[in-house]
Structure 1
Amino acid sequence: MIRQKLCDDLTSLTNVTQPRALVCDECVKTGASWVHLRTCQTCGGTHCCDSSPNKHATKHFHRTQHPVVASAEPGERWVWCYVHEQMAEY
């Protein structure tokens, strides 16, 4: 099996930022709902995933270029790099 080397955005993480609250910051402002949550590892904002109607985590990446999010779902321990389209468990 060939293993892909993880990108520098993922290997440079020393701590994984946990969500301040289990809500999508943007959905709360508009009264929208979400499916799953992701926490930005640059600014700490928590946003909804691409399965959610508003896809705020991906919109946040496109707006800010913050490359890495972590799952904010209880029991899930993974991070995703938007730039390199790589996932890693922690």
Structure 2
Amino acid sequence: MSSSNQTHDHNTIKKWVEARKGVPARVKGTEKNGDEGVLRIHFPSHSDSTNLEEIEWEDFFTDFDKDKLDFLYQDKKADGETSTFHKFVSRAK
């Protein structure tokens, strides 16, 4: 059985993403007025998405915190393999 975790701790998120060779990204064309736009975690080795643009962690976390997001993620799949499942959810009050 697989389980998920939820956090807004920057170090935990960065460590999880980088361990899976991911990078912080945004959807191209969604940025405006100093906002990074729609945030994503991109795994370049898993996709060749042309609509994502890599951004700096500092910019990613600025918008992540401004939007009061949490990172919901899974460490392992049910079969024990490393998981890349994640999503952004509203931070609990």
**TM bucket by the smaller chain?**
under 0.3
TM-score between the two structures when normalised by the length of structure 1: 0.28
Higher strand share: 2
If asked which structure has higher relative contact order (CA below 8 Å, sep 6+), I would say: 2
